[in-house]
Amino acid sequence: MKKAFLTEMEARLRAEREKIVGELVRVSPHVSAGDAFDADYTTLGDKEDESADKAAEIGDNLSLENELSSAVRDIDSALKAIEVGTYGTCKYCKQLIDEARLQVRPTSTSCVACKKTLTQEM
């Protein structure tokens, strides 16, 4: 891959990582679901409907937190691949991933052909 393309992708990945980490900090009060549900229901809300709303919000935030954390891990893996010189190589067939695919999905680790094969097997 061309150095200019790798530089562009690294900048995009770093910017996306910063954005996602900011969102992650916003939705993660660093209280585990276990902590929230181990407490009595009054800590979630004074009334039954408030407790249900708060519990739903905690569940939504945990789901979003998991999704955002996964995205950060994918970005970190892509940045590491750039660093070690393996970025843009399909992990299955070891061929170069098309730059157009990487433009659309910078964290991709498989070429289109291998991804199609994998999704058809499932």
How is the chain split into domains, by residue range? 3-87, 88-122
What percent of the chain has a predicted confidence (pLDDT) above 90?
56
Q: State which amino acid sits at residue 113.
A: A
Assess contact for 96 and 90: CB atoms under 8 A.
yes
Distance CA 19, CA 34 (A): 28
Comparing 22-31, 68-77, 83-92, which segment has the lowest mean pLDDT?
22-31
Q: What is the mean pLDDT of residues 23-44?
A: 51
C-alpha 71/C-alpha 92 separation (Å) is 21
Q: Provide the whole-model pTM.
A: 0.72
In this predicted model, which residue has the larger pLDDT, 119 or 93?
Answer: 93
Identify the three-state secondary structure at position 45: coil
Structure tokens at 85: 């010189």
